[in-house]
Amino acid sequence: MSYAVAEIAFQKSISPDCQTRYGIDQVLTVCPESHDLLDVHYDWDRVPVPSSLKEFEKRWMTRHNPLDYSGVWRFRELLPFAPDDQIVTIGEGQTYLQKCDPVAKYVGMKPGQLFLQYEGLNPSGSFKDNGMTAASTHARMVGAKMTACASTGNTSASLAIYAGVSGHFRCVVFVGSGKISYGKLSQALDYGAVTIQIRGDFDDALQQVRAVCEQQNIYLCNSVNPFRLEGQKSIMYRVLEGLGWEVPDWIVVPGGNLGNSSAFGKAFLELKQLGLIDRIPRLAVINASGANTLYELYEHQGLRWNNGRPQKELVDSFYRDMDARNHRADTLASAIEINRPVNLKKCLRALDACNGVVREVTDEEILDAKAQVGAGGFGCEPASGASVAGAKMLRQQGIIAPSDRVVCILTGHQLKDPTATVGYHSDAAAEEAQKLAKRGIVTRPYQNGPIVVDNDLAQILEVIGRVG
């Protein structure tokens, strides 16, 4: 880019009551004055944003340039905080919008109306790389030598890749005990991250890593880092690109720490402000019913963005009650097993901008939806199945119409959590099957277990005859 990014980008609290600006050279995860989350802002008048989104597509022709190849930096004028020569990219965001009629049928949509944005195809196997390329770039810009995150597994896998590849900084990742899937844990270990497994859950890990980063001047890469969300906006740019730059009716996304939903809302608000889209799609954020803070607060208690002043007391008393009952999130969709989503407030802004809804779906609904995504030829990890399960629920409730155009975000690859998949499909994996049974999941309508046979040709042929 030919202009000085420091002159056009700055950070500012999301609170309308705080107007203090902070430079992009500052490393902050909350506004020092308002103690609220920060946004990255741009002086759009000085950014050479193309007059039409179609211009970005032309970069497919120059994909020998790593910045044009990246599915994030291809859109760099829409996240203009980094000089080109500082960008850390590993070709993230080569992800596609896929029409999927078998899943459309499952959800109750007309053929051709349901799309899956398949973010599992990223280098570390989840959508996190969209944000981590941006956070890594900022870490490099500010000269960070050490980075850190807390994670349910995908953020740590992603940061571990970027730390390994970039050579500019190292990383330490904090994970909780018990729930992290082996697929994800193995990535952090294999990519050489210093991995600290604390006796506690994700919320505990996040609290600790925030304290560690503050005391040790370590660069924090969780989604409280506003630069990470800048990268995650690109998921929506690619969705629009996949639809020929037409805006869909619905975006359906699983909700955990609420970074994605927050980033999507910001993306659409900015595109509208820039005149690059004429309307904003509706947003559905889907919680697992075992980790349903947003659902409870938004749908039952009426928490709203309220022009930047959400009812703080509602949130405080919800958390007080949660602690008093010693209630902790519990779901098989371990990626979204989160009690206190850090981006709650930004997500409220997104829901406000996108006329959003929030739903909760059970583990059973999640696993059934996941099996359908798999049978449709794509595959995803359990948390991602929540988006399809949520779309089905909204369709049944008549909130999504059969002729609407719906995009479900598949946030993580199927191979992230093979234990969950095998447990669902197979009685042979007795331990996993028992775990499901303990959660009341006894009928698995889309079960597709292995057929066990003797090492005997006649028997094999007999079985083939039966299924064929």
- Write out the residues near ligand F0G by the rule CB under 6 A: 126, 128, 151-155, 254-260, 335-336, 381, 383-384, 411-412
> For residues 113 and 292, which CB has a smaller minimum distance to ligand F0G in the complex?
292
Minimum CB–partner distance for residue 63 and ligand F0G (Å): 27
Q: Based on CB atoms, which residue is closest to ligand F0G, 257 or 372?
A: 257
Element (H, E) at 150: strand 146-151
Q: How far is the CB of 125 from ligand F0G (least distance, A)?
A: 9
Residue 143: both structure tokens together = 């000269």
Q: How far is the CB of 259 from ligand F0G (least distance, A)?
A: 3
Looking at the Cβ atoms of 49 and 129, the one nearer to ligand F0G is 129
Q: In a 3-state reduction of DSSP, which class is residue 12?
A: strand
Q: Where are the alpha helices (DSSP H) in 225-338?
A: 226-232, 234-242, 259-273, 293-295, 312-324
Task: Report DSSP state, residue 307.
Answer: G
> Smallest Cα–Cα separation from 45: which of 238, 237, 268, 275?
275
Q: Nearest to residue 390, comparing CAs of 292, 305, 321, 272?
A: 292
Q: How far apart are CA 125 and CA 187, in angstroms?
A: 10
Contact 115, 97 (CB under 8 A): yes
Closer by beta carbon to ligand F0G, 47 or else 407: 407
Shortest Cβ distance from residue 94 to ligand F0G (Å)?
18
Closest approach, Cβ 459 to ligand F0G, in A, equals 40
Report the residue number, 75 or 174, with the smaller CB distance to ligand F0G: 174
Please identify, using beta-carbon distances, which residue of 370 and 395 lies nearer to ligand F0G. 370
Which residues, in sequence order, are CB contacts of 248 under 8 Å at separation 6+?
115, 239, 281, 404, 405, 406, 407
> Residue 288's closest CA among 391, 181, 341, 365?
365
Least gap, CB of 341 to ligand F0G (angstroms): 7
